[in-house]
Amino acid sequence: MKKILIVDDHDDIRRLIRLTLEFEDYDVREACDGPSALDAAREFQPDLVLMDVMMPGGVNGMEACRQLKGGAVGAVPRVMMLSACGQAGDREAGLQAGADLYLVKPFSPLQLIDCIADMWTGA
């Protein structure tokens, strides 16, 4: 079973993503900011992290992605950045931080499922 860590500072967004993923066969955990995401990733060792960009806690999504991709928590997961910032420069910054994919909010549940499925087949 694939393990997915959802990281977003908004409870409602985490809940929506969790509900979307409940129809699939994933083990899902949540974190509300960058520091708790790194702690959760260390413990949970996810295959995929769905990471918001703008979060409180001193470690935003870009920095958390850099640390995850740098091996700071053990195994290196795939990272999909989820952000309301959709300019070309925002996407480029996400990819340079190590994100495997950058998905702009709002997105549909089907779009999210398709992107996750594409990440597994591209593994």
User: pLDDT tens across 16-57, in order?
Assistant: 999 999 888 899 999 999 999 999 999 999 999 999 999 988
pLDDT of residue 52: 96
Q: Which band of pLDDT confidence, cut at 50, 70 and 90, is reported for residue 123?
A: low
Chain-centre distance of CA 50, in angstroms?
A: 2
The Cα 5–Cα 7 span in angstroms is 6
User: pLDDT tens across 9-18, in order?
Assistant: 999 999 999 9
User: pLDDT tens across 54-83, in order?
Assistant: 998 899 999 999 999 998 777 889 999 999
Which residues are paired to 84 by β-bridges?
none
pLDDT of residue 92: 94
Q: How far is CA 59 from CA 38, 51, 106, in A?
A: 9, 12, 23
Query: What's the whole-model pTM score?
Result: 0.94
| Of 113, 9, 105, the residue nearest 61 (C-alpha) | 9
DSSP strands (E only) in 2-118: 2-7, 26-31, 48-52, 78-83, 101-104
Give, to the nearest 10 degrees, the angle between helix 11-21 and helix 109-121: 60
| Of 23, 109, 9, the residue nearest 59 (C-alpha) | 9
CATH 3.40.50.2300, applies to 2-121: yes
Domains of the chain: which residue ranges? 2-121
pLDDT of residue 75: 83
Under 8 Å between Cβ of 76 and 107:
no
